[in-house]
Amino acid sequence: MHALPAKPDLGQLRKHAKDLARENAVALSEAQFRLARDFGFPSWPRLVAYVRRVVDHGPDLHARDDLWHSTPEGWAEACGQPEAQALLRRLGRSGWRRFRR
């Protein structure tokens, strides 16, 4: 598994996926899936969403992202928005797992 750079570039990832598709004679969607899995994401759309969040909110999102995968309380604290904190308290742990998908 590889780590994304601190400032990932969606254009470069798309180009890399196209190159993989050509090199391995597979469909682009398969190459995108493999690339996402190589970076530790369950799918290409999840990888794209993550990169867009990093681009929109800066590289410090990497540090806060660990909280996203840990607990609803940790994520609510990291986002710093009272509405999100209240929502996550109402969701509870089982709702948190569904919310993260």
pLDDT in tens, 46-92: 999 888 888 877 766 555 555 555 565 565 565 566 666 676 667 66
Q: What is the number of domains present in the chain?
A: 2
In a domain, 47, yes or no: yes
**96 CB contacts (<8 Å, ≥6 apart)?**
71, 72, 88
Q: What is the span of the domain harbouring residue 41?
A: 9-58
Same domain, 70 and 98: yes
Same domain, 78 and 90: yes
Read off the pTM. Answer: 0.59
In a domain, 98, yes or no: yes
CA-CA distances (angstroms) from residue 59 to 53, 71, 80, 88, 90?
Answer: 9, 21, 17, 24, 30
In a domain, 1, yes or no: no
